[in-house]
Structure 1
């Protein structure tokens, strides 16, 4: 019985390790902004996220299905490396959300700092080549359960100027 238990325990631990390794090293989370350093058009958020913009998107649930669709009207302005962006979201269930970002870009290395009232702490990111990554913890409103989501936002600049998020 002890040998069987040890074998099952070892097998379970090995399986969990393999799942973890694959998700970290082979999946979405393994992306790094430097992977895009020499690909496509250079993505500088100070130039591309400027003025009035409209964004349409979806939010996926934990099982990969679309939970929510939204349209966001955004406006961003920059003074040197300091930016201010407002977002007005309208969701398919009738909910709305306003967010105001304060952004700072380091010209030397492309590092980004971002704050907003519903962001816990400071979001951190990097722009490199045609890609931008921003990581932050967002506190959802009470109507959405007040959960805190660990968010990784990727933006990709396409050759025609379209930004995919």
Structure 2
């Protein structure tokens, strides 16, 4: 009886594991962070609480610069209530192909993997809400749709309890090449 109960529990837990970034290895276009997050980008997004209610909408103006395998992504947020915020990420490609990212409000490092058109980030963020700051977990997925559009969906949780979802749509304008 114990073995049957243990097998059932393991089956349920395995079913909750979710997708792996390697599931997208054949998807195109292939995502190169240093290409897509280079130059000027725009993003529009929203935060929905766990019941699906939209709590905040926002726009992000971004500038990405690179020196080899190290990139800086400067994000400037403007929220629908008029408030603003800035986050500056430093992204570093690792020897094994994974990514590490840091920012002032990220606890430790974000750890990411890229495969095919997908980026999967996991990190903890210090989130200011009114006069308090909470450390929350982000399970962040980005999917490159074409050379200009990337979709992003992040699950935000605390102690394993779902707090809500962040959805973003990134847009990278086509830069015209100068004729020589």
TM over 0.5: yes
> CA 1:100–1:23 in 2, change beyond 3 Å: closer, same or farther?
farther
Aligned residues of 1:110 and 1:128 also touching (Cα < 8 A): no
TM-score (norm. length: structure 2): 0.73
Per-residue deviation, 1:161: 3.3
The residue number in structure 1 matching 2:164 is: none
TM-score (norm. length: structure 1): 0.80
Aligned residues of 1:77 and 1:83 also touching (Cα < 8 A): yes
2:33 to 42, 45, 48: 45
2:139 to 152, 158, 161: 152
- Distance (Å, rounded) in 2 between the aligned partners of 1:129 and 1:113: 18
> CA 1:142–1:161 in 2, change beyond 3 Å: closer, same or farther?
closer
- Distance (Å, rounded) in 2 between the aligned partners of 1:140 and 1:63: 20
Give structure 2 stretches of 5+ with no counterpart: 153-180
1:112 to 95, 99, 102: 99
Q: CA RMSD in A?
A: 2.4
CA offset digits 1:4-38 (Å, max 9, x no partner): xxxxxxxxx99xx59x637723xxxx121111111
| Pairs within 5 Å for 1:57-72 | 57-72=45-60
Worse-superposed segment, 60-69 or 148-157 = 60-69
The structure carrying a bigger helix percent of its residues is: 1
